[in-house]
Amino acid sequence: MVKKRKDKDKGAEERILAAARKVFTTKGMAGARMQDIADEAGINKALLHYYFRDKDKLFETIFMDEAQKFFPKINAIFNSDDPLFEKIEKFVNEYIDEMQENPYLPWFVINEINRDPDRFMQRVLGSENRPKPARFLEQIDKEVKKGTIKRISPVHLLMNLLSMTIFPFVAKPMITRNLQMSESQFKQTMEQRRTEIPKFIIDSIRK
């Protein structure tokens, strides 16, 4: 009897999380309402609040679940024996995959950092699977010292990768409105950036 109750609870929670992902993706963090999520999950709002007391808690659960899946992929790239240029290409691809699938995540990160940076960093960077770029930064430094790439700060190179990949998703409302881009045009542009970003960065450091 207890097992059936637990299975039922788990099933309901998974249905809620799936519904929340869909609503957050289509309406964004700010536009999503708990009633929207309850409707999408096919439950009443009271039951939704039984599992998740508010939208922030629900979003945090989704983010941490995504982080546990995404960060190990990034760490696998950082710690692989692949050549530097290949790592750059794979890094950009993984980030764009994640942002295309979960475009609301950058806004959540920004909101949480602004609201309570210590708590957020503790939750994310305190995780066992947190991003660990040390080996990647060391590899950049070694390539600079060997003279195979131009002199560049490893930290700046990593920041260039992150900012060029993530910023368009953060600035999507401004970009699409100012450039009069449709949703499909924006997605197509981001697909093009899979090759544009690595090419731009590699060309800038290649000797």
Please check whether residues 86 and 9 belong to one and the same domain.
no
Please check whether residues 43 and 63 belong to one and the same domain.
no
Distance separating alpha carbons of residues 21 and 93, to the nearest angstrom:
21
Per-residue confidence (pLDDT) for residue 91, from 0 to 100 = 97
Token output for 114: 């602004």
CATH, residue 120: 1.10.357.10
90-144 pLDDT, tens digit each: 999 999 999 888 877 777 777 777 777 787 777 766 667 678 999 999 999 999 9
Please check whether residues 16 and 68 belong to one and the same domain.
no
Distance separating alpha carbons of residues 194 and 80, to the nearest angstrom:
20
**Domain ranges, residue 38:** 1-53
CATH, residue 7: 1.10.10.60
Which residue is it, tokens 């637990």? 6
Report DSSP letters for 17-69, one per residue: HHHHHHHHHHHHHHH--HHHHHHHHTS-HHHHHHH-SSHHHHHHHHHHHHHHH
In the chain, alpha helices (H): 2-31, 34-41, 45-51, 55-78, 84-101, 105-115, 117-125, 134-146, 154-170, 172-178, 183-205
Per-residue confidence (pLDDT) for residue 2, from 0 to 100 = 40
The mean pLDDT of the chain is 87
pTM: 0.80
CB 62 within 8 A of CB 69: no
